[in-house]
Amino acid sequence: MLFTQRTTRRTTGLLSQRLSRWQWPPEIAGFVWFQGIADAESGAFAAAYEKNVAGLIHDVRREFAKPVLPFVVAAFGQSV
């Protein structure tokens, strides 16, 4: 599966690491996640996507101690 808990840990870890380099603590006011097309190309990936995104949202909110951090989940346009 492309989108796993490992991906979630890597995403939050890299974000935490980069933000810690700032001279003052930034405030995260929201989070935008764009779905990649690879998750839609497989029935198994697509079926697990909702659960995995929910896990990402939970982990990011926990990592930054923001239990109600707003999230926008978007998908790139699809053509026929």
Q: What is the pTM of this model?
A: 0.64
Going from N- to C-terminal start, the domains of the chain cover: 5-75
What are the angstrom distances between the C-alpha of 17 and each of 9, 10, 41, 44?
12, 10, 32, 32
Give pLDDT tens digits along the chain (80 positions).
445 556 666 777 777 777 777 676 677 889 988 877 776 677 777 788 888 888 888 888 888 889 999 999 887 666 55
CB atoms within 10 A of CB 39: 19
